[in-house]
Structure 1
Amino acid sequence: MLADAATSQNARGDTRLKFIESTSALMMEMNSIDVTLLQIAARSGLNSALIKYHFGNKDGLLTAVALHASERNMDALNQLVEAKISPRKKMEIHLTGLMQLYWHHPYINVLCQYILRHSEEKYKEAIDKKIMQPFIQLQNTIIRQGIEAGEFRNVDPEMTFYIMRGACDSLIDASQQMSNASRIRGMSQAARLEYTHEVVNMLLHGISSHPLV
């Protein structure tokens, strides 16, 4: 009985994950979050009726996609805040990780904003409580640590958040423009790493109390 229940639970988890990964792959390929249930079902090889069973509706699935994409980054950010390294180094690691999140899941910001603006309250609450608020609070903690250590000037954490998010959005825009112009998908890895390095350096220089020359 217990073995059967565990097998059934694992099967449900596998099905959920297959829907999530299929939806993510489609949004990346189409450069859009506007994917249909039929497209998702075809990509996953599963019946679209199972989406309602596992997620409630399409917005439930989209919320699960956003949470899954952000999960590893949020776990790493929690650990980073407590790490015994300088706030400047924490911010460097955080910004690099944020760029990587956007690179691997370029739909993440648009998807979260869609859910926050158009979905049912329970999905809005999930995105706000599990992604937006923890992210802002943890990033603000690193900034406060830097200010207290004399490494950062007294910057506005909210403005810093929007600037950082804008830099990540620009990475995705540039990648898509290069893809359209050259008929290849996105930036090369070398160009992405160079962009990430430059953005991280500029942002750190901007918030530093003693900018490096």
Structure 2
Amino acid sequence: MNVTEQTVTPSATSDSQDNVEAQGARELLLETASQIMREGDQVDISLSELSLRSGLNSALVKYYFGNKAGMLRALLDRDMVTIIRSVDALLAKDAMSPEAKLRRHIGKCIDTYYAYPYLNRLLMRLVRDSDEAEARTIADTYLTPLGVAYDKLIKAGVDNGTFRSVDAQLFYFTVTGAADRFFSARLVLRHCYGQDTLTEELRDRYREHTVDFIMAGILARGH
């Protein structure tokens, strides 16, 4: 045997397969929990329903996540990363104008909340139900980065004359509220507008409407 060749022992192969299977089971639990929340327009799930829908033993929740709260935190980690990464990437794009950055970010928020309409409610629940240290960790991980990003984006737009000066903290609530409220309001759609499905066409219309509406409030006169 050539000395550069590797011998894969049965135990190594078995361990690798076990790791793949474990990762698959973990992701299946998260995706099933996400589906239950989306379909039920809720931020709570029962372990029995999770087990039934996923085909996995509910004891795996404790094995992979410690408890149900740990699973919900892992779900938040999975879903919020899209927004955090997108705003970080925008801040790094020196060639893009503050207006273009903000428009793209708001649109990305709409798309993310369309995919995960429970996102803000899940975040608030975890903050509310956690002890002070854990709540601070969640806030530092997900809320503070957005607040800092909005402050930088708005300041850059004010400095180049594109934006009027607005409160970055209140701007955060405006963007988050616009995204969260619409995609968690299926009962309003059903009973007031006779529409029970959040379609991609409706998402696209709402994205365009929200971006234009919010930007009209922050753009300086003449822009």
CA distance in 2, matches of 1:18, 1:3: 22
1:177 maps to amino acid: V
How many Å apart are 1:181 and its aligned residue?
Answer: 5.4
8 Å contact 1:27–1:35 — kept in the other structure?
yes
Q: Establish whether residue 193 from structure 1 lines up as the match of residue 204 from structure 2.
A: yes
CA distance in 2, matches of 1:183, 1:123: 41
1:51-77 CA distance string (max 9 Å, x none):
011111101101111111112222122
CA distance in 2, matches of 1:52, 1:121: 23
8 Å contact 2:102–2:153 — kept in the other structure?
yes
1:29 maps to amino acid: E
1:158 maps to amino acid: Q
8 Å contact 1:81–1:138 — kept in the other structure?
yes
Larger of the two Rg values belongs to structure: 2
- Equivalent pairs counted in the alignment come to 212
1:42 to 52, 59, 71: 52
Return closer, same or farther for 1:167/1:148 CA change in 2, 3 Å cut-off. Answer: same
How many Å apart are 1:195 and its aligned residue?
Answer: 2.0
1:11 to 15, 21, 44: 21
Unaligned runs of 5+ in 2: 1-10
1:94-128 CA distance string (max 9 Å, x none):
00000111111000011000000013456534532
8 Å contact 2:150–2:171 — kept in the other structure?
no
8 Å contact 2:76–2:119 — kept in the other structure?
yes
Q: Establish whether residue 93 from structure 1 lines up as the match of residue 93 from structure 2.
A: no
Task: Provide the secondary structure at the position in 2 that maps to 1:152.
Answer: coil
Q: TM-score normalised to the size of structure 2?
A: 0.86
2:67 to 54, 57, 73: 57
Give the RMSD, CA atoms, in angstroms: 2.1
Q: 24-33 or 159-168, which moves further after superposition?
A: 159-168
Q: Establish whether residue 73 from structure 1 lines up as the match of residue 83 from structure 2.
A: yes
Partner of 2:5: none
Partner of 1:164: 175
Q: 189-198 or 200-209, which moves further after superposition?
A: 189-198
2:157 to 128, 146, 150: 146
Return closer, same or farther for 1:8/1:125 CA change in 2, 3 Å cut-off. Answer: farther
Unaligned runs of 5+ in 1: none
Please identify which structure carries the higher helix content: 1
How many Å apart are 1:6 and its aligned residue?
Answer: 3.3
> 1:165-184 to 2 correspondence within 5 Å?
165-180=176-191
1:168-188 CA distance string (max 9 Å, x none):
123124444223557753233
CA distance in 2, matches of 1:159, 1:139: 10
Q: TM-score normalised to the size of structure 1?
A: 0.90
What is the aligned-residue identity percentage? 26
How many Å apart are 1:133 and its aligned residue?
Answer: 1.6
8 Å contact 1:59–1:123 — kept in the other structure?
no
Q: Establish whether residue 128 from structure 1 lines up as the match of residue 167 from structure 2.
A: no
